Amino acid sequence: MNGSQHRKKQPEIVRQRLLDATAGIAAAQGLHAVTIQSVSTAAGVTKGGLFHHFANKDDLIHEVIRQQLAQVDVVVDEALVHDSGHGCFTRAYVLAIFAMGATTAPVSLALFTEPGLNEAWAAWLAARLERHAATDSGVALAAVRMAADGVWLADLWPAAYSIGDRDALRQHLLDLTRKEPA
């Protein structure tokens, strides 16, 4: 024995550090700053270690977005536990969009540029709307969801759009979901 200590490999922890580094770099510097080198350096992992977990930069970004969608699911599911009836999914959706905030915005840009990711988001939303068709159909609730999407888009371009009082805007959108259709 040479007396050197061997670290126990923890592949899931390393993998998550790489994903966290990817999201952190994108949030701080923009998606263009996410490179194999910048991610491996920020995560304290060799490039070879990164490639052990992810084939390329696109795989990293896709997984970060998959995790973000899973976080949206958690917020939506949590809200639905405490809510039912007319507009319940739309209220949960509004809460999730506001919870995502500006930190996820740079990675979310990939939804616009990557067809596979765009389709994944569309499928995610379509499945939930279908599941909640009895409570969340109609133009008024669609308009609220689109307004929430507008908040998400505003987070993508904060220099161009000023939301002002986010809490008041969120509450206004939530209030709109409680109006029964005529």
Residue 107 to residues 54, 65, 146, Cα–Cα distance (Å): 17, 7, 20
pLDDT in tens, the chain (182 residues): 454 555 567 889 999 999 999 988 887 887 788 899 999 999 999 999 999 999 999 899 888 888 888 888 899 999 999 999 999 999 999 999 888 866 666 667 677 667 777 787 888 889 999 999 999 999 999 999 999 988 887 877 766 677 778 899 999 999 999 987 76
Q: Identify the CATH homologous superfamily for domain 8-54.
A: Homeodomain-like (1.10.10.60)
CATH 1.10.10.60 spans which residues of the chain?
Answer: 8-54
**Alpha-carbon gap, residue 93 to 130, rounded angstroms:** 14
